[in-house]
Structure 1
Amino acid sequence: MIVVNIVISVAVIIVLQLLGMVVFGWMTPFNDLEELKRGNAAVGLAMGGKFMSTAIVLGVAAYTNSSIWHMMLWFAVGYVCLVIAYWIFEWATPGLKLSDHLKQGNVAVGILLACVYVGTSFAIGSLII
């Protein structure tokens, strides 16, 4: 029974991680994977930050909840907070259209966004506990 629970939990975690990345992909007006194929390091950095931040929120949700349903709920809450943080950061930097700079390969913006995502996920993770 324990093995079945672990397998189900891992499957749910993988699906949630992939779903989180798909939703983040919808937020950009360009195709993230196409930009990666072109070698756009800025998009790679931002995507890496998105992946890490989603994994951090998901990991904390999984660690602090014994029920898969509660884990999914707290992941959803944390993930919504990550999305809101992105839009707030976009709003707070009116002279810097983030998606345009990423598409142009501005590595500094990619690094900044990766740090915003990861830093926000740590802060959100402390709320979930």
Structure 2
Amino acid sequence: MTIVVNLAVSILVIIVLQLLGMFIFSLMTPFKDMEELKQGNVAVALALGGKFLATAIILGVAAYTNTSIWFMMLWFAVGYLCLVAAYWIFELVTPGFTISEHLQKGNVAVGAFLCLVFIGTAFAVSSLII
């Protein structure tokens, strides 16, 4: 019975952390992600999908490599801060334009590149967690 309870608590914590991570990311852009998705904005979909997958990668590795929920949450927080930093660094190294403006305008190239920045950062950071 203890294993079932531990599994249920772990899954609940993972879901809450994933949702919290996506909520925080949604606060970083001046537009509403879901509204842009409803309008068919592929650039925002790519960036949002990259954020979701990157968050899931870090969360998955944190869950896999830690037996304690507290350590899992700690390593997720460290990895998540790296993802947030990657977004702002990407913003800094593109001084000719604002990422969020190009995403809102539907610039698929920016959305695809940002998606890969998030995924690449997640893989790199996840190697530190192990």
Would you say same fold, with TM above 0.5? yes
Q: Matches of 1:21 and 1:32 in 2, distance apart?
A: 10
Report the aligned-residue RMSD: 0.5
User: Structure 2 matches for 1:45-56, cutoff 5 A?
Assistant: 45-56=46-57
Residue matched to 1:108 = 109
Deviation at 1:121, TM superposition (A): 0.3
Q: Matches of 1:26 and 1:126 in 2, distance apart?
A: 27
Q: Matches of 2:61 and 2:97 in 1, distance apart?
A: 32
Q: Matches of 1:81 and 1:108 in 2, distance apart?
A: 23
Q: Matches of 2:89 and 2:41 in 1, distance apart?
A: 24
Deviation at 1:94, TM superposition (A): 0.4
Q: SS of the counterpart of 2:31? A: coil
Q: Matches of 1:3 and 1:115 in 2, distance apart?
A: 36
| 2:120 is aligned with 1:126 | no
* Unmatched segments (≥5 aa) in structure 1: none
User: Structure 2 matches for 1:41-80, cutoff 5 A?
Assistant: 41-80=42-81
Q: Matches of 2:84 and 2:63 in 1, distance apart?
A: 20
Residue matched to 1:117 = 118
Residue matched to 2:24 = 23
Q: 2:62 is matched by which residue type in structure 1?
A: A
Q: SS of the counterpart of 2:106? A: coil
Query: What is the TM-score of this pair, normalised by structure 2?
Result: 0.98
**How high is the sequence identity, in percent, across the aligned residues?**
69
Aligned residues: 129
Moved over 2 A (4+): none
Residue by residue, what CA displacement relative to the aligned partner does 1:44-66 show, whole Å, maximum 9, x if unpaired?
00000000000000001001100
Q: Matches of 1:90 and 1:125 in 2, distance apart?
A: 22
Q: Matches of 1:87 and 1:60 in 2, distance apart?
A: 23
Q: 2:5 is matched by which residue type in structure 1?
A: V
